[in-house]
Structure 1
Amino acid sequence: MSASINWQKSSFSGGDNNQNCVELAHVDGQILLRESDTPNTIVTTNRDNLRAFISGVKAGEFDHFVG
């Protein structure tokens, strides 16, 4: 499945060989997410849920998980 998907990552990732990147793809109205070092593990969501998650990250709602 993932071979035909057009995965995209941030230009801040440092090039094609960087293996510590979050990659995103848009397929049939769904947003797919994966880490480049584990490409066979794919999380599926939609635009609204992804937007809410990113807003939460920006607001610091998940800081207690890493701090």
Structure 2
Amino acid sequence: MLIKLLNIFNQGETHSLEDIADMLKTDVAIVKAQLEYLENQEYIKRVIVNVGCSHREDCIKNRWNPVMWEISKLP
């Protein structure tokens, strides 16, 4: 399943956790665990996107900041 997950990353598209879980025919909790494993092994890295933050205070108030991952290295 890890290779399939990395292949999804290689497509260069954006997907929600729910979409990825559907593609892999599993549930979101499993996808989160797999992402955590890949992040710990440094295959992917987390990228936090600050949406609509013109000032630091806006970012703190607006807790809706999507979390994304990108490939760090290929297996």
Give the TM interval when normalised to the shorter protein. Answer: 0.3 to 0.5
Q: TM-score, normalised by structure 2?
A: 0.31
In terms of fraction of residues, the more helix-rich structure is 2
The higher-RCO structure (CA 8 Å, 6+ apart) is 2
In terms of fraction of residues, the more strand-rich structure is 1
Q: TM-score, normalised by structure 1?
A: 0.34
